Amino acid sequence: ILSIPSNSLLKRNHVAPIIMKSVTVNRDQKIQAERLLLPIVSEEQAIVETVLIHPVVIICGETGSGKTTQLPQFLYEAGFGSQGSGVFLFPCILKLPFIQAKLENPGIIGITQPRRVAAMSTASRVAVELGLASSRVAYQIRYDATVSPSTIIKFMTDGVLLRELTTDFLLSKYSIIIIDEAHERSMNTDILIGALSRIVKLRQSMWEQKKEGIKPLRLIIMSATLRVDDFISNTTLFSVPPPVINISARQYPVTTHFSRHTSADYISEAVRKVSQIHTKLPPGGILVFLTGQNEIIGVCRKLQARFGRKLKGGPSEKPTVPKNIGPAESPFSAIQDNSETMWIPLADVEAEEIELGDGALDVDLNIDLEDESDDVRDPDDSMTDIEEMPMHVIPLYSLLPSEKQLEVFKEPPARSRLVVVATNIAETSLTIPNIRYVVDCGRAKERKYDSRSGIESFSVSWISKAAAAQRSGRAGRTGPGHCYRLYSSALYENYFDEFAQPEILRVPIEGVVLQMKAMNIDTVINFPFPTPPDRDNLKRAERVLINLGALEDKGNGLTSITNLGKAMAIFPLSPRFSKVLVSAKQNQCLPFAIAIVSALSIGDPFIRPEHFSTSENQQGTGKDEAGVGKPRLGAFYASQQLHGSLGGGISDVFRYLSVVGAYEFAGEDSDFCMEHFVRPKAMEEIHKLRIQLSNIIQINFPEIGVGTLKLNKPPDPTQASHFFSVQVLSLSTPPQLRVLRQLLAAAFIDQVAVRKDIVDNSSSDGNKYTSCRNVPYKALGVSDDVFIHPSSILYNSPPPDFIVFHEMSKTTQTWLKTNTIINPAWLPKLAPSLCSTSKRVKTFDGKVLIVPRFGPELWELPAIREAENK
Ligand code: ADP
Ligand code: MG
Each residue's pLDDT tens digit, 62-96? 888 999 999 999 999 988 886 544 444 444 444 44
Q: Is 431 in the pocket of ligand 1 (CB under 6 A)?
A: yes
> Is residue 130 a contact partner of residue 25, using CB atoms and an 8 Å limit?
yes
Using alpha carbons, select from 735, 772, 720 the residue that is nearest to residue 750: 772
Look at strands 455-462 and 443-450 and give their pairing: antiparallel
CA distance 542 to 552: 10
Cβ(275) – ligand 1 distance below 6 Å: no
Ligand 1 and 121: CB distance under 6 A: yes
Minimal-distance CA residue to ligand 1 atom 18: 431
Ligand 1 mean position, distance from CA 172 (Å): 29
Q: What is the pLDDT of residue 19?
A: 46
**Contact indicator for 565, 516 with CB cutoff of 8 Å:** no
Any ligand 1 atom below 6 A from CB of 67: yes
Contact 577, 597 (CB under 8 A): yes
Q: Ligand 2: distance of its center to the CA of 435 in Å?
A: 17
In terms of residues, how long is the chain?
A: 870
CB of 433 sitting under 6 A from ligand 1: yes
Q: What is the pLDDT of residues 450-476, one digit of tens each?
A: 554 444 556 788 999 999 999 999 998
551: β partners: 561
* Shortest-distance ligand to the CA of residue 477: 1
Provide the residues around ligand 2 (an ion) whose CB is within 5 A: 67-68
Dist. CA 73–CA 78, nearest whole Å: 8
Q: Is 398 in the pocket of ligand 1 (CB under 6 A)?
A: no
Question: How many Å lie between the centroid of ligand 1 and the Cα of residue 66?
Answer: 6
Q: Given ligand 1 and candidates 42, 75, 125, 225, which is best to mutate, with the most ligand atoms within 8 Å of its CB?
A: 125
CA–CA dist 524, 514 (Å, integer)? 10
CA of 27 to the centre of ligand 1 (A): 16
**Mean pLDDT per 10-residue section of the chain, whose length is 870 residues:** 46 46 82 91 91 93 91 92 51 45 69 90 94 94 85 94 87 95 90 94 92 90 80 87 88 91 93 95 95 91 86 38 33 27 23 25 26 42 55 88 81 91 88 92 79 57 91 90 95 90 83 87 88 87 89 86 88 83 82 89 80 42 48 78 81 89 78 85 85 80 64 43 52 79 90 83 75 54 74 90 85 85 87 78 76 70 55
Helix, strand, coil % (nearest 5) of the chain? 40, 20, 45
Most ligand 1 atoms within 8 A of CB, residue of 44, 69, 153, 410 to mutate: 69
68 lines ligand 1 (CB under 6 A): yes
Nearest ligand to the CA of 126 is 1
Q: How many CB atoms lie within 10 A of CB 9?
A: 18
- Sequence-distant (6+) residues with CB within 8 A of 781 are none
Listed in sequence order, the residues at least 6 apart from 582 whose beta carbon sits closer than 8 Å to its beta carbon are: 564, 567, 568, 571
Could you give the CA distance from residue 678 to residue 628 in angstroms, rounded to a whole number? 11
| Distances, alpha carbon 59 to alpha carbons 43, 46, 245, 266, 708, in Å | 11, 11, 5, 35, 51
Select from 315, 309, 320, 302 the least CA-distant residue to 412: 309
Amino acid of residue 305: A
What is the atom index within ligand 1 of the atom nearest the CA of 70? 6
Instruction: Tell whether ligand 1 has an atom less than 6 A from the beta carbon of residue 63.
Output: yes
Please report, as a single letter, which amino acid is at residue 202.
L
Helix (H, G, I), strand (E, B) or coil at 69: helix
Range list of H helices, 131-215:
158-167, 187-208
Of the bound ligands, which one is closest to the alpha carbon of residue 121?
1
Q: pTM for the complete prediction?
A: 0.70
* ipTM at complex level: 0.99
pLDDT, position 729: 57
Alpha helix ranges (H) inside 701-788: 722-725, 728-731, 734-747, 756-760, 774-779
- State whether the beta carbon of 125 lies less than 6 angstroms from ligand 1: yes
Please work out whether the CB of residue 409 comes within 6 Å of at least one atom of ligand 1: yes
Compute the radius of gyration of the chain from its Cα atoms. Answer: 31
**Residue 792 near ligand 1, beta carbon < 6 Å:** no
pLDDT of residue 294: 86
Nearest CA to ligand 1 atom 13: 64
